């Protein structure tokens, strides 16, 4: 397997097939590719291969479960096992049902914000952070592609209050210690008119889940 991960634009639009000769296939969101590959390198997990679906599926969550099903069914015969590296991600339980039908495991939790932060910690903080808008490393890098342009804020900044008027702060869940990303996240908070908080999480429950495979 190559360690070279495609650029964010490719991961957002097309996903990536980074599979090699491992025994376990990870079917993941393209937004998690850099983190999964970093964990593979750091831990020497040569038994794990990775195939990513486009990150932009998050804008149409009803398409996630069918896309996961298609990829698992197309590739599972080449592997000892398959693990789906998505949380529910807005599918309303459809992805969990699909994985159960396919007999494959998946991440637990409502979305990647929760498993990066740690599901248990995220759950405890729930009431206190009802008005928080979250970003991860990938979403900081791709803020314009996933927030500004899809919501039309580049063309109609007056929509900001409609979308974000009930939010109070932007919380950057930082997987890495990168001053450039921190500055970009602060810019995003300013653009949305939100207070800014940086929370270093590392890889959270993602590392725990993958280490058990």
Better-predicted residue by pLDDT, 188 or 1: 188
Local confidence band at 113 (pLDDT 50, 70, 90 cut-offs): very high
Q: What is the pLDDT of residue 3?
A: 66
Q: What is the pLDDT of residue 22?
A: 87
Candidates 39, 32, 206, 211; CA nearest to 119 is: 206
Any idea what DSSP says for residue 169? E
Q: How many CA atoms lie within 13 A of 160 on its CB side?
A: 14
Domains within the chain, CATH numbers bracketed: 8-107 (3.40.50), 113-200 (no CATH)
Local confidence band at 173 (pLDDT 50, 70, 90 cut-offs): very high
Contact residues for 2 (Cβ-Cβ < 8 A; gap 6+):
18, 20
Candidates 15, 14, 43, 6; CA nearest to 213 is: 43
The SS3 of residue 195 is strand
On the question of pLDDT at 19 being above 70, the answer is yes
Local confidence band at 126 (pLDDT 50, 70, 90 cut-offs): confident
Q: What is the pLDDT of residues 150-167, one digit of tens each?
A: 999 999 999 999 999 999
On the question of pLDDT at 169 being above 80, the answer is yes
- As a whole number of angstroms, the distance between CA 78 and CA 81 comes to 9
Residue ranges of alpha helices (H) inside the chain are 8-13, 33-43, 64-75, 94-102, 112-117, 119-125, 137-141, 143, 160-164, 179-192, 204-211
Better-predicted residue by pLDDT, 127 or 79: 79
What pTM was computed for the model?
A: 0.92
Q: What is the pLDDT of residue 2?
A: 53
Residue 212 to residues 24, 136, 186, Cα–Cα distance (Å)? 12, 23, 35
Q: What is the pLDDT of residues 21-43, one digit of tens each?
A: 889 999 999 999 999 999 999 99
The SS3 of residue 31 is helix
Q: What is the pLDDT of residues 84-109, one digit of tens each?
A: 999 999 999 999 999 999 999 999 99
On the question of pLDDT at 1 being above 70, the answer is no
Tell me the pLDDT of the chain averaged across its residues: 94
């Amino acid at each position: 397997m190559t360690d070279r991960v495609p650029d964010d634009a490719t991961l957002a639009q097309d996903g990536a097939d980074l599979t090699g000769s491992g025994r376990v296939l990870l079917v993941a969101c393209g937004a998690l590719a850099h983190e999964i590959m970093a964990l593979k390198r750091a831990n020497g997990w040569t038994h794990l291969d990775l195939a990513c679906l486009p990150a932009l599926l998050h804008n149409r969550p009803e398409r996630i479960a069918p896309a996961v099903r298609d990829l698992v069914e197309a590739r599972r015969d080449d592997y000892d096992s398959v693990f789906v590296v998505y949380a529910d991600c807005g599918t309303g339980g459809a992805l969990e049902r699909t994985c159960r039908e396919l007999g494959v495991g998946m991440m637990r939790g409502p979305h990647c914000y929760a498993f990066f932060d740690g599901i248990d910690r995220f759950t405890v903080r729930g009431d206190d952070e009802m008005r928080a808008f979250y970003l991860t490393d990938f979403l900081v890098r791709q803020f314009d592609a996933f927030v500004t342009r899809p919501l039309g804020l580049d063309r109609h900044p007056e929509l900001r209050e409609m979308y974000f008027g009930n939010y109070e702060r932007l919380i950057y869940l930082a997987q890495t210690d990168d001053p450039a990303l921190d500055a970009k996240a602060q810019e995003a908070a300013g653009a949305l008119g939100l207070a800014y908080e940086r929370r270093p999480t590392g890889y959270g429950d993602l590392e725990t889940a993958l280490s058990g495979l």
